[in-house]
Amino acid sequence: MIDMIYRRMGKSGLKLSAFSYGSWLTFSNQMALEPVKESLAMAYDHGVNFFDNAEVYANGKSEELMGAAIHELGWPRDSFCVSSKVFWGGSLPTQRGLSRKHITDACHAALRRLQVDYLDLFFCHRPDNDTPVEETVRAMDALVRQGKVLYWGTSEWDAVRIVEAFAVAEKYNLTPPSVEQPEYNMFHRHRIEVEYGRLFNEFGLGSTVWSPLASGILTNKYAGGIPEESRANLPGYEWLHERFRSEEGMRRIKTTAAMNEIANRLNATMAQLALAWCLANTNVSTVILGASKPSQLKENLGALAVLDQLDASVLDELEGILGNKPQPLPSF
Ligand code: NDP
């Protein structure tokens, strides 16, 4: 087993494992308590110290399962980090968005479901055009001061809005965001590689990146069609099925098959190559793994061994196949 790498979450003192483990779609929809426990234990034994969740995942059941499993596993509270995200808590106006009301209720509900006294990370799952950023920053700051949240962050906010949150925090002496949670994978690069550049370099923002395998496409398992047992066939996720079968989806599947030859040469699986590629970007604090079976998680954790093999020539070769390197912002 390769030793886990730990990275600072931006300029904060928190050190997260380079691979973390999240529960979107899998916990409750595809996995019950026993496989959840098995996967969490495997991740923890490999040195994973951050477990990602959200109020909306399986309408709260994902947090309940994670909380029950961690409780049964008996991990000391100071040995792991757990997150929740607030935005989609229910259908009523008071149950959605980033108002002080919903942020406060969502935090309390997540603490109960996860069976913890505080959340290590609490994310604003999307921007809310109906709530002033100042109200959201004040609500997060209050939770931090109450000891219910240690670090707060955003997910898929544009850079301008994040800078606004920093400005409000500075003006009123409130706690600024520490981290952003954006999508990042070989097919989705602009935010991490270009848009957030100044936030990483000048504001010391950390990043916990999601869908590193582009929902599974980057495993190369879609090369022969959509496998029966995959998230693309889950009821309610027909949109994902359609996305995989679209022209862009087919292009991604073909591109992945071409990169798979490089993975073979490195004695790695395509999933491992794609995951190690995300980690090769040092602005990434942690890559959140997704896995619907313990065997997938085991394979994915093995990607740490591939990181050292990603020298400039391999990265250039991948770049040549991907052909999508984002252009830097113009300087004036
Ligand atoms: P991935 O892109 O890595 O997709 C994971 C899925 O791919 C698995 O559930 C499995 O799906 C398939 N897969 C993974 N590994 C393998 C393997 N080795 N072999 C075959 N199939 C494999 O990540 P996710 O989209 O799951 O995102 C990871 C985490 O990021 C989430 O759990 C969540 O915590 C977070 N997230 C955050 C979001 C946000 O808005 N902030 C949005 C989305 C995710 P299957 O078996 O069903 O095919």
pLDDT of residue 256: 98
The answer on pLDDT for 4 being more than 90 is: yes
CA 304 to centroid of chain Cα atoms: 17
With cut-offs at 50, 70 and 90, classify the pLDDT of residue 330. Answer: confident
Q: Whose CA is nearest to atom 32 of ligand 1?
A: 22
Q: Whose CA is nearest to atom 13 of ligand 1?
A: 216
Q: Strand 6-8 vs strand 179-180: parallel, antiparallel, or unpaired?
A: unpaired
The answer on pLDDT for 332 being more than 80 is: no
pLDDT of residue 163: 98
pLDDT of residue 2: 83
Q: What is the pTM of this model?
A: 0.98
* d(C-alpha 285, C-alpha 179), whole Å: 9
pLDDT of residue 302: 97
307-317 tens-digit pLDDT: 999 999 999 99
What the block records as the tokens of 230 is 């995959």
Mean pLDDT of the residues in the chain: 97
Query: For the structural domain made of 6-219+277-310, what CATH number should be given?
Result: 3.20.20.100
pLDDT of residue 89: 98
What the block records as the tokens of 313 is 């020539």
28: left (phi over 0), alpha (psi -120 to 50) or beta: left
pLDDT of residue 113: 98
Any atom of ligand 1 within 6 Å of the Cβ of 300: yes
* d(C-alpha 266, C-alpha 249), whole Å: 26
With cut-offs at 50, 70 and 90, classify the pLDDT of residue 12. Answer: very high
Q: Strand 50-52 vs strand 286-289: parallel, antiparallel, or unpaired?
A: unpaired
* d(C-alpha 284, C-alpha 277), whole Å: 11
The answer on pLDDT for 1 being more than 80 is: no
The answer on pLDDT for 103 being more than 90 is: yes
44-97 tens-digit pLDDT: 999 999 999 999 999 999 999 999 999 999 999 999 999 999 999 999 999 999
208-265 tens-digit pLDDT: 999 999 999 999 999 999 998 899 999 889 999 999 999 999 999 999 999 999 999 9
Any atom of ligand 1 within 6 Å of the Cβ of 215: yes
Question: Ligand 1 atom closest to Cα of 53?
Answer: 34
Domain residue spans of the chain? 6-219+277-310
CA distances from 167 to 125, 162, 175 (A): 20, 9, 11
Q: Whose CA is nearest to atom 25 of ligand 1?
A: 211
Query: Which position has the token pair 């026993």?
Result: 34
The answer on pLDDT for 328 being more than 90 is: no
Segment among 81-85, 155-159, 228-232, 281-285 with least mean pLDDT: 228-232
Q: Is 140 helix (H, G, I), strand (E, B) or coil?
A: helix
- 21 flagged as catalytic: no
